[in-house]
Amino acid sequence: MMLHWRLSIAVSVMQMYIRPDTNTMALFIRLFLGMKYGVVTEVGSNVTQFKVGDHVGVGTYVNSCKDCERCSNFLEVHCKKVVFTFNGIDYDGTITKGGYSSLIVVHERYCFKIPDGYPLEFAAPLLCAGITVYKPMMHHKMNQPGKSLGVVGLGGLGHMAVKFGKAFGLNVTVFSTSESKWDEAINILGAEKFVLSSDTQQMQEMESKLDFIVDTAAGDHPLDPYLNMLDVHGIMVLVGFPSEIKLSPISLSIGARNLAGSVTGGTKDIQSMLEYCAAHKIYPKIEVIKINYINEALERMIKNDVKYRFVIDIENSLK
């Protein structure tokens, strides 16, 4: 039942951001150390899906009850007993350690085959940022060529939403608080349009122009201007975690618009996403670092100076 593997390389994805609380500026450190990839070195006798030598990845969770309706429908991330890969308490009482390890033992259900030829270092961010936007985009049928997509926030999640949007044949508009990201959005990621969200006129010009919006913004921001950009029956999905959201019900009712949320994805969705990325040559933009660069990496994350994920090469760090 268990898959036992030694990581040839382990990967951690880190994010850090400042979040205003009601009274204080609190510094939240999110060391997202869950996603990792490596090579299988040992399989238990009941393992059927993997063999020694396979390239595999582990996402943001490593266990769930396997028995509830959600698990039965491959919505394991929504299982009430889901165990997260980092700082979770597993069923045997152990605290999960995420990606800062050279070895992991994991049930094969929570292990994903990285397709042949897909460069391993790109796989880890897919297991969080990639699936977090791919899942709602597929669920809400945003893969209809010719439709229009708005992506709010150009960071780890946002740049993946742009990549999927382009691969789906959508007309993509990036909404950003950072004027400096114009070149990246248009010339590198290939978005059709870039809107500076602090520019009221540019924002108003987008009224009723979008079919879909994926909102990845990490900080607090008004929702009404974005909802008003949706056409009739348009769909806005929130995947970011600002501290709170406020909106006028009229922004939803007029135009019969839809607002939804989403969190990463189930095991089948994750495997499909990996295969889609391999088939369409979709790669997250990453910077590979060694562990001794971690303090500088943290400093740079505070300054929002990373495009868009640090990937820690644990194996080469330990040599």
Ligand X SMILES: O=C/C=C/c1ccc(O)c(O)c1
**Can you give the binding site for ligand X, defined by CB under 6 A?**
30, 32, 60-61, 77, 128, 241, 263-264
Nearest-10 Cα torsion for 190, 192, 197, 200: 160
The correct pick among 4, 8, 17, 31 for binding ligand NDP (CB under 6 A) is: 17
* β-bridge pairing 2-6 and 103-107: antiparallel
Does 162 engage in binding with ligand NDP (CB under 6 A)? Answer: no
- Report if residue 216 touches ligand NDP, rule: CB under 6 A: yes
Residue with the CB atom nearest ligand NDP in the bound state: 155
Is residue 178 near ligand NDP by the rule CB under 6 A? yes
How many residues bind ligand NDP, per CB under 6 A?
29
Cis link prior to 308 (omega < 30° from 0)?
Answer: yes
Q: Shortest gap between Cβ of 74 and ligand X (angstroms)?
A: 14
Nearer to ligand X, 163 or 166 (CB): 163
CB of 106 within 8 A of CB of 90? no
308 binds ligand NDP (CB under 6 A): yes
CB closer to ligand X out of 61 and 310: 61
Q: Max Cα separation, the chain? A: 63
Which residues, 6+ apart, have CB-to-CB distance to 212 below 8 Å?
137, 140, 142, 147, 148, 149, 150, 170, 230, 234, 235, 236, 237
The SS3 of residue 24 is: coil
State how far the Cα of 89 lies from the Cα of 220, in Å rounded to an integer. 30
Which is nearer to ligand NDP, 46 or 198 (by Cβ)?
198
| By the rule CB under 6 A, 240 interacts with ligand NDP | yes
* Positions in the binding site for ligand NDP (CB under 6 A): 15, 17, 128-129, 132, 153-158, 176-178, 181, 216-221, 239-241, 262-264, 304, 308
